[in-house]
Amino acid sequence: MEKRAFLAIALSLLVLVLYQEWISRQYPTPPPQPPAEQKTEAAKAPTADSVAPSTPAEIKPAPAPAAKQIQDIRVETDNYIALFTNQGARLKSFKFKHYQATADPNSPPFEMIATVPGVPYPLGVKWNSAVPTDDASIIYRVDGSDLKLSGEAEGTLTFQGTASDGVTITKKLIFVGAQYPIGLELNARASDGSVFAPAALLTVPSQHEDPNADAPFEGFLTVVDDKVKREPVSDELRKGKEISGQLSWAGFGFTYFMMALVPENGAGYRVGVQQSGPALVLSVAEPIGKPNGTQYTLFVGPKELNVLESIGKGMEKAIDFGYFGFISIPFLYILHFFHQFTNSYGIDIILLTVLLKILTAPLTHKSYASMKQMQKLQPQMERLKEKFKDDREKLNKEIMEMYRRNGVNPLGGCLPMVVQFPVFIGLYNALYIPIELRHAPFLWINDLSKPDWQSLPFEFAGWHLGVPVLTILMGASMFVQQWMTPTAGDPNQRKLMLMMPLIFTFMFVTFPAGLTIYWLINNVLSIAQQWWINRSVK
């Protein structure tokens, strides 16, 4: 049995390591581009706004308009502060009011959209007329002024401009004070009254040489034909990718935030993404123009499960819970429930751990009791090994008969490990991926989504180090638990089992502090349960 237990632990560790490696390969940090090469490429490439997957022709940028014609319009709601410019009717800045750039309480708001040299602002449009063109140089007329909205109050901005080819472009945005989603209506009409199907453009920098550790860039995200597609930045993506079908939504994702376009009816839409200069350009276009224009929902906001589910269209699939999402999502809802009363995610994790321990207590009790009974049978097993040392088949039969007579299940001790592994992975994703634990403080820890040593940092010989207090306590509690756990194997196997806490301690140094709290509290509860079983099972 001990060999099976050791094998199960070893396989669990292997799966954990492989899972971490798989995650790192799924969302790699793109390699930085040499400055000289980047400048050369930017000089040769057309502007990002002129790129659409269905139109390879190059568009020459129009001369910049006079500065006095340009104006900015500010929109403030309960959740964000957005700044629009009438040059191209673009989204110039977008800052969240409830999320900061870092865990430092004095850090500025997290800015989802900012000015980056060479990267056009998002929310451009492109259309196919005699010469493919876009609206980068159009100075729009603005119907509306600065807005400050709260609650269910609504506000509207309407941009209207005319291109050099006579096409009139209208962009209407509808804001609600308490909501992240923004209504977007696009209309492109020629001077003769005919309509075009304008492609909506979203842009982000293609290079992330200094990725924000609090919100790393993930890449291109979309749901087409009810299937989620995730494309990290790669050479293949930079060269261009086009998808068509029933579009639910498409956009760019960060670990905790996203920017996406959600069409009202996505049948037959074309989605393309490719690099142009220093920008990644996402193009979303309906198959044919409509007299009443194209209706979208523009979402720039946090990847918060409740918020995304309220939008519909499978937006919650933007959060990658992995194969154990069926476990992660209920855990997240339980944390939300506890948080209504505690207002502390650290306490919520402790309460969730206690709840899980109560639910698995009967199984754990049966497992520990079985291991205790097997320990008592060890002298008999040694005698059988000596008696049938030359007949392996007979020895196995006698051992199984001994287990049957004493009502012992030799696999009983492995059951908690089998159950706990998917729970561990599900809880790992519930604590690591969603935005809820980002910058969530607890005791001396200032961010439960980061390793606990980062909350007590220091520098030594140029190295950025920290004191992993929680991880050390977790390792110590695991050692006590292993020492108290009955074993029926030889002393060498027991010594090997006592090495497991050291291995886990090194592993947990890189794990989120929230997960370390779970494992520590689980160990403490297991120690208490084992102490009670050792006293009650004779």
**Which of 324, 96, 319, 102 shows the shortest CA–CA distance to 218?**
319
Of 160, 90, 87, 168, the C-alpha closest to 129 is: 168
Q: Are 204 and 246 in contact (CB under 8 A)?
A: no
**Sequential DSSP letters for 404-415:** HHHT--TTGGGH
Beta bridge partners of 224: 227, 247
356 versus 211: the higher-pLDDT residue is: 356
Residues recorded for the chain: 538
Backbone torsions φ then ψ of 85, nearest 5 degrees: -120, 145
Tokens of 448: 């439960």
| Residue 122 to residue 160: CA distance in whole angstroms | 17
Q: Whole-angstrom Cα distance, residue 248 to residue 196?
A: 22
> Rounded to 5 degrees, what are φ and ψ at 118?
85, -10
Asked whether 145 and 137 are in contact (CB, 8 A), the reply is: no
Q: Which one-letter amino acid corresponds to residue 284?
A: V
Q: Whole-angstrom Cα distance, residue 483 to residue 500?
A: 11
Q: Are the beta carbons of 250 and 199 closer than 8 angstroms?
A: no
β-strand partners of 520: none
Q: Where are the domains of the chain?
A: 37-59+71-319, 359-536
Let me know if domain 37-59+71-319 sits in CATH 1.10.3720.10: no
- HSE, CB side, 13 Å, CA atoms: give it for residue 43: 6
User: With left for phi above 0 and alpha for psi between -120 and 50, is residue 93 left, alpha or beta?
Assistant: beta
The pLDDT value recorded for residue 106 is 86
pLDDT confidence of residue 186:
92
- What residues pair up with 466 in beta bridges, in sequence order? 457
Helix (H) / strand (E) containing 420: helix 415-432
Looking at the DSSP bridge assignments, the partners of residue 19 are none
Q: What percent of the chain has pLDDT over 90?
A: 32
- Tens digit of each residue's pLDDT (9 = 90 or more) over 211-254: 456 678 888 999 998 889 998 888 878 888 888 889 999 999 98
Q: Is residue 346 pLDDT above 90, yes or no? A: yes
Could you give phi then psi for residue 78, rounded to 5 degrees? -65, -25
CA distance readout (Å), 314 to 250, 318, 460: 11, 8, 47
Residue 4 backbone phi and psi in degrees, to 5: -65, -40
Of 47-56, 174-183, 495-504, the range with the lowest mean pLDDT is 47-56
Is it the case that residue 72 has pLDDT exceeding 60? Answer: yes
Pairwise CA distance, residues 483 & 467, whole Å? 25
Q: Please, how many CA atoms are within 13 Å of residue 241, restricted to the half-sphere of its CB?
A: 19
For residue 523, give the 3-state DSSP assignment. Answer: helix
* Distances from the Cα of 75 to the Cα of 78, 82, 93, 283, angstroms: 10, 5, 10, 25
Distances (CA, A) of 349 to 164, 190, 359, 515, 529: 59, 59, 15, 8, 20
293-312 pLDDT per residue, tens: 889 999 999 999 999 999 98
Q: What residues pair up with 420 in beta bridges, in sequence order? A: none
Give the span between the Cα atoms of 510 and 519, in whole angstroms: 14
Q: What angle do CA 27, 268, 229 make, to 5 degrees?
A: 10
pTM: 0.77
- pLDDT of 27 > 50? The answer is no
Query: 114-118, 315-319, 456-460: which has the minimum mean pLDDT?
Result: 456-460
Is 54 a residue whose pLDDT tops 50?
A: no
What's the DSSP call for residue 35?
A: H
Distances (CA, A) of 79 to 74, 75, 132: 14, 11, 37
From residue 311, give the alpha-carbon distance in Å to each of 150, 215, 450: 19, 22, 29
Separation of alpha carbons 235 and 254, rounded Å: 19
**Segment 407-458, tens digit of pLDDT:** 666 655 566 667 677 887 888 888 888 898 889 999 999 989 889 988 888 7
Give the Cα separation of 57 and 39 in Å (integer).
22
Residues 6+ apart with CB under 8 A from 376: none
> Is the pLDDT higher at 135 or at 378?
135
